[in-house]
Structure 1
Amino acid sequence: MKNILRIALLFTVLSFSACETFLGDNVNPNNATSATPQLVMPNALVRTASLLRSYNSNAGWIIGYTVNAGGYGGWGSIVTYNYTTGSYATTWESTYDDLINYQYIEDQTAEDPSLAYFNGVAKVMKAYDFHMLVDVFGNVPYTEGLKGSDNVTPAYDSQEAIYQDLVEQLDLAIASFTTADLAQPLGSADVMFGGDVTRWAKFANTLKLRLLMRMSSGSSTSSYAMTKFGSFDTSVGFLTEDAIVNPGYLATAGKQNPYWETYHTNASGSLSGGGRQAIPSDFVYAFYNGTKISDEGRGSATYRAYPTGTPKGVLGNLVDNPAALSNQTAWYVGTGTGANASTSIGLLKGRKAGVPMMLAAESYLLQAEAYMKGYLSGDDMAAFENGVIASFKYLYKGENNQVEAGMDPAGDFELYKEENADNYLVNYSLADTDAKKLEAIITQKYIALNFIHGQEAWAEFRRTGYPAIVEGSNDPNETFASILSSSPRPDELPVRFLYPDTEFQLNPENVPSGINQFSSLIFWQAQ
């Protein structure tokens, strides 16, 4: 855990540095000697937004959102799934780097009722980070994981126990947002909801729903999940608008939207490597171009040169996969190139656009599944349709997080239903079994999360088996597994990442041994 120790000693410098970069605190990061929760929180949220981009990118190669473009080499374990202990070490270390900031906020506010809202935010964001970590690594240091120099060889907690405690922590956070009326406002430190603790409570409640839905699928956690569903306070509400982090991203070096930086261009206008080397898969494209579903509205807002000119291919095809679009990335639908690229609707909205931490579309689709299964009381069809409309709405927003003039999410959803009149994946009323209803819900979640939250789509596929694939098929429209896969599984996919080499070097007594990326399942995965 060398990175945890390092950050425990230096987190104040990092916190002040990022705050100065984005928020103009007028603090010299080279001379920072102390910090406050008010200063650390905006930096931590910005770091989480960047971390989320990393999780999305890593999982996007697995779940079919991105495949290798032609003309580039060195793909290694991305196309074979032959992961090593070095493959995702950065993801591990970056997550704990981020968590130590939230732990600091929680520790500093624990005994101060006036800072209850800051304490609540720290609890929510720790749950956010830790559950992503568990979903790709399984058991991780949790109880002892954020103690810095007090414990540099922390024990590993079981993934089931971590999830359960995260739910309990979210309950405590929700209580602080809804009852701590005399607490100090979050103010400008809140770069996600602008100090609105009601929205923080909804976000926490929606995150809790995400965790419980996963726990309901685990044989050892389903009983706990059912108990928590029985006492679930729906009066708090769920997200109805996208949760967006924006500290004031700027079109300058080191300050622009991290998705734009990775997939479009840097501040000087040079094309990014990520945008040139990646193209969509045939599999995901089939949910737009009519192969599986016709979706002109979202297809045009998602892919450049849709529907006939977007390069698409198969993961692992190193010979004749199409090259990326010249001077552009396949996921940018605006005009202009390089530093002169315009703001746009779609996924890459602009250099100054915020980063979505959770989509309203996911919130509604989580509710739809909970209602359909009888875990909560509600109208699953209405929640399903609201989720799809919310997906249209997000894609139709511009850099300012507002739906662009002339765009009609609800109207285009109606056209979507008409174009797919016989398809239960679009017209929920045609899903005449619970299995079909679940497939429709998760498939629409897969579409809504495309290129945004690949890690969530991968988790939902492992949990439910949707979107449906044909195991062993050579048809690129039927599976997103790499054609160079080394996986012995019937679906030819991996199920997790491997622990980083630093853990085997520095924490050998505690790091689990015998972990395999094809057979060591996360607790909520059936097979």
Structure 2
Amino acid sequence: MRNILRIFILASFISLTACESFLGDNVNPNEATSATPELVLPNALVSSANLFLQYSYNAMWINGYTVNAGGYGGWGAIVTYNMTTTSYNTLWSSTYDDLVNYQYIEDQSAEEPGLAYFNAVAKTMKAFDYAMLVDVFGDVPYSEGLKGAINVTPAYDSQTEVYKDLVSQLNIAIDIFTNAKSANSLGSADVIFGGSVSKWAKFANTIKLRMLLKMAASSETSAFATTEFAAMNTTVGFMTEDAKVNPGYIATAGKQNPLWERYHSNAAGTLSGSGRSAIPSKYVYSFYNGTKITDTGRGAVTYRSFNSSTPVGQLGNLVDNPDALASQTAWFVGTGTGTNAVATNGLLKGRTAGFPIMLAAESYLLQAEAFMKGFLVGDDLKAFDNGVTASFRYLYGDISGALPAGKVLATEVATYKADNPANYLVNYNLASTSAEKLEAIITQKYIANNFVNGHESWADFRRTGYPKIVNGSANPVLSFASILSSSPRADKLPVRYLYASSEFQLNPANVPTGIDQFSSLVFWQAQ
């Protein structure tokens, strides 16, 4: 494994120097004594944001958020799903590189009561990273996976056992956040919540909730999930605001918001290739333009020239897909081009905007599902409405979170409901069965996570089958599967990624073999 060939402290410093340059500090990478958890943490969190974007970006090509624009070639496995073991080498190695940083923080803070909060953050973020890794690869090196030079050929752990231990580690982290009152403040090292341990506790609890809902869907882990739900610390609560990484992004090369960098322009103002070669799918657009749901409010702050000339297409259509906008990406709703682009609301808020790794909208909708299924006690209708409102709040807000003049969230949400009077996907009280309620919850999560978290939306689809598609349909509003798919499945989709080729080269005795992207299910997948 690439990651385990590194000694922890070396990996920490490789990333640390990049972060400290970003943050404006001058740390000598040859002085190992300066590699403190306080210095490593901010870089690790920034690295996690970039890693999260990789997971989301890859999944958006599968779950219908993005499709190929015309005028661009070389799509290969993106449109055929004919993946190879080289397809996700970078994702695999980047995940373990990030995990090495958190393991270093955890090791260095384990016997230091004053660094208890740093220890808890490391546990939380390890769970965040590892859960994403398991969700697309299944079994992974875990118990031996971060031993550095001590073990360069680690065994693979069962994905179910990894999930179980991650939940246990989150329990420890939540306990630390709520009870280690004498620990030193996270201070400026915390570039997500500004040092608020209560917000970290809510974040950890929300990650745990997300994981338990997946575990509850599997016969292998449902009993474990039931026990954990019963013991869940609901007093801590769940996220009520967006979790956004921001170390102080600035309009300088390598230091601006990573979503902006990928989909809008670099610091010199050159429009990104991803911003032009990717366009929205007709499938996802149907949840805004009235085909499935009328959502003019969020549509207008999600897509440029909404309901007018937004370029939309179908994955795998190499002939008729429209070219992307000449000077803008389809997801920027502001004014100006290049370096003159003006910060705005919507998804691409600006070069210096915080980068979301989990939205409050998802938190509320996770709660709605848990309440609806009886795993936790609560009002699923209220949680559902809170989730929709939180989605409007995120999209309508600018960099500072301020809403446009005259915009009232309650009014916007009321209009949304009124525009869809008989649609239970919007008006949850109209859902008459558990299946309809779950469909409404997952569909609204799909909408809320549009272009924000493709990874989790793809996981939701694999777990629940929502949002609905018509298997095998070539109609672009009925299915988001590529029309050039090589998948033998009824839905014409892949179900996972293949292990990295680097594993077959460096850890051949342990890497699972016989894995197929169309049939080797992750443990929580329905089918």
Asked whether the two chains share a fold, i.e. TM above 0.5, the reply is yes
Task: After superposition, give the CA deviation of every residue in 1:154-205 in whole Å (9 maximum; x if it has no partner).
Answer: 0000110000001000000000000001000000000000000000000001
Q: What are the within-5 Å matches in structure 2 for residues 109-188 of structure 1?
A: 109-188=109-188
Worse-matched range after superposition: 345-354 or 406-415? 406-415
Q: TM-score, normalised by structure 2?
A: 0.99
Tell me the percent identity: 68
Worse-matched range after superposition: 403-412 or 514-523? 403-412
> Could you say which residue in structure 1 is the equivalent of 2:287?
287
> Could you say which residue in structure 1 is the equivalent of 2:400?
400
Kept in 2, the 8 Å contact 1:69–1:322? The answer is: yes
Q: How many angstroms does 1:7 deviate by?
A: 6.0
Kept in 1, the 8 Å contact 2:106–2:118? The answer is: yes
> Could you say which residue in structure 1 is the equivalent of 2:432?
432
Kept in 1, the 8 Å contact 2:250–2:351? The answer is: yes
Q: How many angstroms does 1:3 deviate by?
A: 3.1
> Could you say which residue in structure 2 is the equivalent of 1:27?
27
Letter in 2 for 1:223: A
> Could you say which residue in structure 2 is the equivalent of 1:44?
44
Kept in 2, the 8 Å contact 1:257–1:353? The answer is: yes
Whether 1:201 and 2:201 are equivalent positions in the alignment is: yes
Q: How many angstroms does 1:33 deviate by?
A: 6.2
Q: Which runs of 5+ in 1 are unaligned?
A: none
> Could you say which residue in structure 2 is the equivalent of 1:108?
108
> Alignment partner of 1:212: what SS?
helix
Please, what is the CA RMSD of the aligned residues? 1.1
Kept in 2, the 8 Å contact 1:353–1:401? The answer is: no
1:405/1:4 CA distance change after superposition, 3 Å: farther
Kept in 2, the 8 Å contact 1:485–1:492? The answer is: yes
> Could you say which residue in structure 1 is the equivalent of 2:299?
299
Kept in 1, the 8 Å contact 2:304–2:330? The answer is: yes
1:73/1:30 CA distance change after superposition, 3 Å: farther
Q: How many angstroms does 1:30 deviate by?
A: 6.8
Number of matched pairs: 527
- C-alpha separation between the residues in 1 aligned to 2:478 and 2:30? 54
- C-alpha separation between the residues in 2 aligned to 1:58 and 1:8? 28
Q: Which runs of 5+ in 2 are unaligned?
A: none
Task: After superposition, give the CA deviation of every residue in 1:304-349 in whole Å (9 maximum; x if it has no partner).
Answer: 0001210000000011100001110000000000010000100000
1:348/1:414 CA distance change after superposition, 3 Å: same
Q: How many angstroms does 1:34 deviate by?
A: 4.0
Kept in 1, the 8 Å contact 2:62–2:493? The answer is: yes
1:7/1:296 CA distance change after superposition, 3 Å: farther
- C-alpha separation between the residues in 2 aligned to 1:2 and 1:87? 16
> Could you say which residue in structure 2 is the equivalent of 1:411?
411
Letter in 1 for 2:521: L
Task: After superposition, give the CA deviation of every residue in 1:488-507 in whole Å (9 maximum; x if it has no partner).
Answer: 00000000000000100110
- C-alpha separation between the residues in 2 aligned to 1:318 and 1:277? 12
Kept in 2, the 8 Å contact 1:12–1:33? The answer is: no
Q: TM-score, normalised by structure 1?
A: 0.99
- C-alpha separation between the residues in 2 aligned to 1:196 and 1:116? 14
> Could you say which residue in structure 2 is the equivalent of 1:233?
233
Task: After superposition, give the CA deviation of every residue in 1:369-389 in whole Å (9 maximum; x if it has no partner).
Answer: 000001000000000000000
Q: What are the within-5 Å matches in structure 2 for residues 341-490 of structure 1?
A: 341-490=341-490
- C-alpha separation between the residues in 1 aligned to 2:198 and 2:346? 28
Kept in 1, the 8 Å contact 2:303–2:332? The answer is: yes
Kept in 2, the 8 Å contact 1:66–1:281? The answer is: yes
Whether 1:55 and 2:55 are equivalent positions in the alignment is: yes
- C-alpha separation between the residues in 1 aligned to 2:122 and 2:362? 22
Task: After superposition, give the CA deviation of every residue in 1:435-485 in whole Å (9 maximum; x if it has no partner).
Answer: 000000000000000000000000000000000000011210000000000
> Alignment partner of 2:6: what SS?
helix
Q: How many angstroms does 1:6 deviate by?
A: 3.0
Q: How many angstroms does 1:224 deviate by?
A: 0.5
Letter in 2 for 1:486: S
